[in-house]
């Protein structure tokens, strides 16, 4: 009995580690927003300038290096790059933010702490830095950054031949630093759990509501079948065609709504579901989705064209990627409809090919495009460019699915000239190759 209990406890612990530490999505920039990054960049830049004067002139410390301070201040301008603050949720922004913050916080503060012999000023500064670091980035990134940055800062001070020991009171300083680190981990971990719990609960509620819509939709679908059966008996030919067309549109609408329900339910479960990995041929997936999409009219169907430049295989969840392409096509068709003109053949294009050693699926349209001021926010949860329509979760879902397959989704758009969404995925070898 004890052995079974121990094995069960180990299994639960390992599952917890997988869910909360390994599989939980990384957040390199906590609460990503353009305004927050601009404020961080400005505060860091002017903070280095002010503290260079305080520690160098007003309250002189044993060691203060103007050249390094100036370099740190200039490095803070990275936060103000358009590549970061305009798309704070992108992978590129996350990498640049992580590197700049690693240099600014753990490396710089540890180095200055050692160069100042671990005095009280820099002990307090180092402890404050630890809490700031956990407030700025994911607690796992912060923990790894503190270890590597601390070792790098200590090694840098050693190479510069610091003329005094890095700790004046080793045990007391270590206790204070360890206490700050433990508090940072606890605050960062609990904050991450709280954010995920809030998002998961919200999406779960939406998933339940979406699931409840299936019952009335099933009734509507039966009404379409009844209409089809009625027209088979004593109905003039002209009325029969109109009723059959109406029935077809009704059932297409039901299929479309069911797809949206599947998307919302998957959104609600995406943070908890195991990552299904199966080999997917891109061309087959695209052709199947384009062929079975619930178009509202034959003109809408004819406007879609598929271009297979080179097929490729990738690993991912086929049902989830099918919903990704459905979402992108739905958005593209909505953009075309918003233009006020009837769609023409080629107005919506789905391309499959290779790009810089990765497989690429691109969905482009000649619609109204996305305004510049909204472009960097389209992958944020609950943000939608379709005023009064959409939940704002479609593109968030797409981003989560693509990144779960170790891919990247990006967008390029010009107002009134359309948009192109690009999915870049690592290549895999087909099983029959």
Q: Tell me what the mean pLDDT of segment 185-190 comes to.
A: 83
Name the pairing type of β-strands 408-414 and 348-355: unpaired
pLDDT band at 201 (very low <50, low <70, confident <90, very high): low
Q: What is the pLDDT of residues 66-114, one digit of tens each?
A: 999 999 999 999 888 887 777 776 777 888 899 999 999 999 999 999 9
Name, of 142-146, 265-269, 326-330, 397-401, the range with top average pLDDT. 142-146
Pair of tokens at residue 89: 């949720």
Question: 373 in helix, strand or coil?
Answer: helix
Question: 12 in helix, strand or coil?
Answer: helix
Per the model's pLDDT, the better-predicted residue between 160 and 41 turns out to be 41
Class of domain 274-425 as given by CATH = alpha beta
Half-sphere exposure of 159 (CA within 13 A, CB side): 7
Of the candidates 283, 260, 228, the one whose C-alpha atom is nearest the C-alpha of residue 430 is: 283
Asked if pLDDT for residue 199 goes beyond 80, the answer is no
- Which of 36-40, 131-135, 215-219, 238-242 is the least confident region? 215-219
Q: Tell me what the mean pLDDT of segment 385-393 comes to.
A: 55
pLDDT of residue 209: 61
The phi, psi pair for 423, rounded to 5°, reads -110, 115
Per the model's pLDDT, the better-predicted residue between 114 and 267 turns out to be 114
- Which of 49-53, 104-108, 428-432 is the least confident region? 428-432
Q: Tell me what the mean pLDDT of segment 328-349 comes to.
A: 87
Distance CA(399)–CA(161), nearest Å, equals 48
Domain boundaries, the chain: 25-202, 274-425
Question: 358 in helix, strand or coil?
Answer: strand
Distance CA(186)–CA(43), nearest Å, equals 26
Distance CA(310)–CA(165), nearest Å, equals 62
Burial grade of 156 (CB within 10 A; 0-12, 13-18, 19 or more): middle
> Exposed e or buried b for every residue in 345-364, given b needs 16+ CB within 10 A?
eebbbbbbbeeeeebbbbbb
Per the model's pLDDT, the better-predicted residue between 262 and 58 turns out to be 58
pLDDT band at 305 (very low <50, low <70, confident <90, very high): very high
Per the model's pLDDT, the better-predicted residue between 298 and 168 turns out to be 298
DSSP 310: S
Q: Are 166 and 117 in contact (CB under 8 A)?
A: yes
pLDDT of residue 284: 94
pLDDT of residue 42: 92
Name, of 360-364, 379-383, 400-404, the range with top average pLDDT. 360-364
pLDDT of residue 388: 44
pLDDT of residue 262: 62
The proportion of the chain whose per-residue pLDDT surpasses 70, expressed as a percent, equals 77
Report the 10 Å Cβ neighbour count for 46. Answer: 12
Instruction: Name 180's Cβ contacts closer than 8 Å, sequence gap at least 6.
Output: 126, 127, 130, 131
Of the candidates 149, 158, 53, the one whose C-alpha atom is nearest the C-alpha of residue 99 is: 149
Question: 284 in helix, strand or coil?
Answer: helix
The phi, psi pair for 414, rounded to 5°, reads -125, 130
DSSP 189-254: HHHHHHHHHHHHHHHHHHHHHHHHTHHHHHHHHHHHHHHHHHTTSS--HHHHHHHHHHHHHHHHHH
pLDDT of residue 174: 87
Average pLDDT score, the chain: 81
Per the model's pLDDT, the better-predicted residue between 392 and 291 turns out to be 291
pLDDT of residue 273: 45
Per the model's pLDDT, the better-predicted residue between 8 and 167 turns out to be 8
Asked if pLDDT for residue 285 goes beyond 90, the answer is yes
Asked if pLDDT for residue 274 goes beyond 50, the answer is no
- Which of 156-165, 336-345, 368-377, 421-430 is the least confident region? 156-165
- Which of 29-38, 206-215, 375-384 is the least confident region? 206-215
Instruction: Kindly calculate the radius of gyration of the chain based on its CA atoms and give it in whole angstroms.
Output: 28
């Amino acid at each position: 009995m004890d052995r079974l209990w121990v094995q069960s406890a180990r299994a639960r612990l390992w599952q917890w580690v997988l869910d909360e530490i390994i599989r939980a999505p990384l957040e390199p920039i906590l609460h990503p927003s353009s305004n927050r990054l601009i404020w961080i960049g400005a505060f860091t830049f002017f903070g280095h300038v002010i503290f260079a004067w305080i520690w160098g002139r007003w309250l002189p410390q044993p060691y203060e290096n103007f050249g390094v301070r100036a370099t740190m201040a200039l490095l803070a301008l990275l936060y103000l790059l358009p590549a970061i603050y305009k798309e704070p949720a992108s992978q590129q922004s996350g990498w640049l933010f992580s590197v700049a913050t690693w240099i600014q916080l753990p490396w710089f503060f540890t180095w200055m702490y050692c160069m100042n012999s671990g005095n009280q000023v820099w002990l307090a500064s180092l402890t404050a830095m630890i809490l700031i670091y956990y407030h700025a980035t994911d607690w796992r990134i912060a923990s790894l950054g503190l270890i590597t940055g601390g070792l790098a800062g200590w090694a840098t001070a050693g190479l510069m031949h610091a003329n005094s020991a890095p700790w004046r009171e080793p045990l007391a300083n270590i206790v204070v630093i360890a206490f700050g680190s433990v508090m940072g981990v606890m605050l960062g971990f609990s904050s991450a759990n709280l954010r995920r719990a809030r998002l998961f609960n919200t999406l779960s509620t939406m998933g339940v509501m979406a699931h409840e819509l299936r019952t009335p939709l099933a009734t509507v679908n039966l009404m379409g079948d009844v209409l089809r059966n009625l027209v088979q008996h004593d109905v003039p030919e002209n009325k029969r065609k109109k009723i059959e067309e109406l029935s077809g549109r009704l059932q297409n609408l039901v299929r479309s709504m069911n797809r949206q329900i599947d998307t919302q339910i998957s959104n609600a479960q995406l943070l908890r579901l195991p990552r299904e990995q199966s080999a997917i041929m891109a061309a087959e997936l695209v052709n199947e989705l384009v062929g079975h999409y619930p178009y509202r009219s034959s003109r809408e169907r004819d406007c879609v064209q598929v271009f297979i430049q080179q097929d490729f295989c990738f690993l991912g969840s086929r049902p989830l990627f099918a919903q990704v392409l459905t979402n992108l096509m739905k958005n593209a068709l909505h953009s075309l409809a918003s233009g006020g003109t009837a769609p023409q053949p080629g107005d919506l294009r789905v391309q499959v090919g290779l790009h810089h050693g990765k497989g690429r699926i691109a969905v482009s349209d000649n619609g109204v495009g996305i305004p510049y001021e909204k472009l960097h926010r389209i992958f944020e949860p609950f943000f939608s460019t379709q005023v009064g329509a959409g939940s704002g979760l479609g593109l968030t879902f797409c981003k989560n699915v693509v990144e779960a397959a170790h891919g990247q989704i990006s967008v390029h758009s010009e107002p009134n000239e359309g948009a192109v969404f690009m999915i870049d995925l690592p290549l895999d070898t087909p099983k029959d190759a």
